């Protein structure tokens, strides 16, 4: 009997436990239903949820679908259907925050302030869909975070680089095992409000695969006319995304599908000029690196002339990432000296680093009250702060990696200075031409693209058709420039791929110099597209090209007449130091490129009467 009773007790004990668990689960379901009814979800979503909760009540817990349905309902309750943060709309405060966080980027800041101003006048404004396009390292991602801080909104970043499955955007249907919502709905659940700032990072690096095209899935998300009823496959009910501020970032628009690009407002974020990089380094990068390495301004001093040396000789980039790394390397080298306690200060020639000594004295005097107390703690040697000059740069960073672009005296005919644009900024380019006896062939070297090759053919055709007018002859005195003559055009550096129409005027000037035997002015650089009629058409990248010419010490720049509007983007002090020649046709280009002009020889044609 004893043996028979024990199992009964166990069974009864077990049945009590199961009843308790069932009651707890029933209470949880009741609680979940209460949350659903009190939530502020849309009518359609509420209808779906109540239907699902009825099914859940009838379902035994052992069924796999029980957990799936419960997870779905919990997600629906957690989503911020009507919960939003209040925007900070003080434009003056917003301008201060943006200026403190980022130097330059005027177009971008202006657009954010415009949104704030309109938001003050209209409460239910749809969030704009912006796309920041620019080279790496110029601060596109960080400015998105700064915009969220300015508006007082939550911030969520979605990295799209390499995403090749449209389910990442739209989610999986609940019929699949392991289904889950897409990144948009997941992000909303994470931030807990329906009006965050969403940063869609690297939107130009989406990939296609057998699982679909995520760029096509983004069309619905980024369309203001559709995203008020965005339907995630997992939710299967519409969710309003119209209050979300979407910011996409990209390095180029070439790889973004046209339909997706059409839905976004593209704002170009250009690379920084040298002056802007110096300001960014001293306002943001150097203080950040000092804090990261546990140093203080009383221990290390980096003058502006040294920062300029790092920018021009050790980095070649549009952004400031490499500059940040070089400053970090300097701080690590100084940290070693400070930690060892035996500082061999990089002793500069005081005459060479004129500003450095002044900076050092200035910093030491300003820091005297703090440094007295600090000296006792850190046992600092009397030679503080360590002054970083060019000698110290060479010791820490090694020999300079890049030579500075400088103009050189043009000593022979057949050479002209052109201006090129790269994603890393502008550059000057020497175009060289030579001629030799041959069969009338044109040889082009320097890794040129198709458009640039066509520009060279255009230039030679225009010169051949105008050879008599300008008295241009080949070696044998013939006006047919390619008669028994080969021409070779070279564009250094040979390893760098080049393309684009803007070298047209430079090629014409170079060839005109070669056939006339006259030297092009050494202080003139030029850019512009040409036509067969001899017109000069506008080109892009004028700001970067002009700054490159200014850095190289050139004084006169020939640009297309229709590019005059682009000169407004250039700083006033740079414009004052340069003289600009606005050319509408090749006659004006040649007159400006040669000393004393490039005169047209007017010859009277004697017409013989046939009468």
The residues assigned a catalytic role are: 502, 545
Distance (Å, whole) CA 576 – CA 573: 5
Q: Tell me if 558 sits within 8 A of 550, measured CB to CB.
A: no
Distance (Å, whole) CA 167 – CA 182: 6
Q: For the chain, how many residues are written?
A: 611
Distance (Å, whole) CA 171 – CA 163: 13
The owner of tokens 């990442």 is 168
CA 392 to chain centre: 32
268-295: b (≥16 Cβ within 10 Å) or e = ebbbbbeebbbbbbeebbbeebbeebeb
Distance (Å, whole) CA 28 – CA 73: 12
- The β-bridge partners of 267 are 132
Distance (Å, whole) CA 278 – CA 268: 21
DSSP output for 160-189: -TT---THHHH---TTSTT----HHHHHHH
Give rounded-to-5 percent helix, strand, coil for the chain. Answer: 45, 15, 40
Element (H, E) at 469: helix 467-470
Q: Tell me if 555 sits within 8 A of 492, measured CB to CB.
A: no
* Of residues 9, 30, 122, the one with CA closest to residue 73: 30
Q: Are strands 197-201 and 529-530 parallel, antiparallel or unpaired?
A: unpaired
Assigned token pair, 135: 């080279």
List the helix and strand counts (H, then E) for the chain: 23, 18
The backbone torsions φ and ψ at residue 219, rounded to the nearest 5 degrees and listed phi first, read: -60, -40
* Of residues 366, 361, 342, the one with CA closest to residue 303: 361
Could you give the angle at the alpha carbon of 342 between the alpha carbons of 337 and 348, nearest 5°? Answer: 75
- Cα–Cα distance list, 170 to 43, 155, 243 (Å): 22, 20, 18
């Amino acid at each position: 009997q004893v043996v028979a009773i024990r199992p009964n007790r166990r069974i009864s004990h077990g049945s009590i436990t199961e009843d308790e668990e069932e009651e707890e689960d029933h209470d949880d379901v009741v609680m979940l239903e209460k949350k659903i009814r009190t939530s502020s979800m849309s009518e359609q979503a509420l209808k779906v949820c109540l239907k699902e909760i009825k099914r859940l009540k009838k379902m035994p817990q052992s069924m796999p679908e029980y957990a799936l349905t419960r997870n779905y309902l919990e997600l629906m309750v957690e989503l911020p259907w009507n919960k939003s943060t209040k925007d900070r709309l003080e434009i003056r405060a917003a301008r201060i925050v943006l200026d403190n966080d980022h130097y330059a980027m005027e177009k971008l800041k202006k657009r954010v302030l415009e949104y704030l101003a309109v938001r003050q006048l209209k409460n239910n404004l749809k969030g704009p869909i912006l796309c920041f396009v620019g080279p790496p390292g110029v601060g596109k991602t960080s400015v998105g975070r700064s915009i969220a801080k300015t508006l007082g909104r939550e911030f969520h970043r979605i990295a799209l680089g390499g995403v090749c499955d449209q389910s990442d955007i739209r989610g999986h249907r609940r019929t699949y095992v392991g289904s889950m919502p897409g990144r948009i709905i997941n992000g909303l659940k994470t931030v807990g409000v329906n009006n965050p700032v969403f940063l869609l990072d690297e939107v130009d690096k989406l990939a296609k695969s057998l699982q679909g095209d995520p760029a096509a899935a983004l069309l619905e998300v980024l369309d203001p006319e559709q995203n008020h009823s965005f339907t995630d496959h997992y939710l299967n009910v519409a969710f309003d995304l119209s209050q979300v501020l979407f910011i996409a970032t990209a390095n180029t628009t070439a790889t973004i599908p046209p339909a997706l690009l059409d839905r976004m407002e593209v704002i170009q974020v250009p690379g920084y000029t040298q002056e802007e990089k110096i300001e960014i380094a001293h306002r943001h990068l150097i203080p950040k690196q000092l804090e990261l390495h546990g140093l203080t301004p009383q221990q290390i001093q980096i003058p502006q002339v040294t920062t300029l040396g790092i920018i021009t000789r050790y980095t070649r980039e549009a952004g400031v990432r490499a500059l940040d790394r070089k400053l970090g390397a300097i701080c690590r080298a100084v940290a070693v000296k400070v930690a060892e306690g035996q500082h061999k200060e990089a002793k500069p020639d005081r005459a060479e680093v004129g500003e450095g000594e002044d900076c050092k004295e200035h910093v030491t005097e300003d820091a005297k009250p703090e440094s007295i107390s600090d000296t006792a703690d850190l046992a600092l040697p009397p030679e503080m702060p360590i002054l970083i000059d060019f000698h110290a740069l060479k010791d820490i960073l090694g020999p300079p990696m890049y030579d500075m672009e400088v103009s050189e005296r043009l000593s022979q005919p057949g050479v002209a200075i052109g201006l090129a644009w790269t994603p890393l900024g502008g550059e000057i380019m020497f175009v060289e031409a030579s001629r030799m006896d041959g069969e009338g062939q044109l040889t082009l070297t320097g890794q040129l693209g198709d458009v640039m090759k066509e520009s060279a053919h255009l230039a030679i055709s225009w010169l051949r058709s105008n050879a008599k007018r300008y008295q241009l002859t080949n070696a044998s005195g013939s006006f047919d420039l390619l008669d028994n003559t080969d021409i070779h055009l070279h564009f250094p550096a040979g390893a760098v791929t080049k393309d684009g129409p803007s070298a047209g005027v430079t090629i014409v000037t170079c060839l005109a110099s070669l056939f006339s035997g006259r030297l092009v002015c050494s202080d003139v650089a030029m850019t512009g597209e040409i036509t067969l009629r001899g017109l000069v058409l506008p080109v892009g990248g004028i700001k970067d090209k002009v700054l490159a010419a200014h850095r190289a010490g050139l004084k006169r720049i020939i640009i297309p007449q229709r590019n005059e509007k682009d000169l407004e983007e250039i700083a006033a002090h740079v414009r004052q130091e340069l003289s600009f020649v606005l050319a509408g046709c090749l006659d004006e280009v040649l007159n400006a490129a040669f000393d004393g002009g490039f005169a047209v020889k007017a010859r009277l044609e004697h017409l013989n009467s046939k009468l």
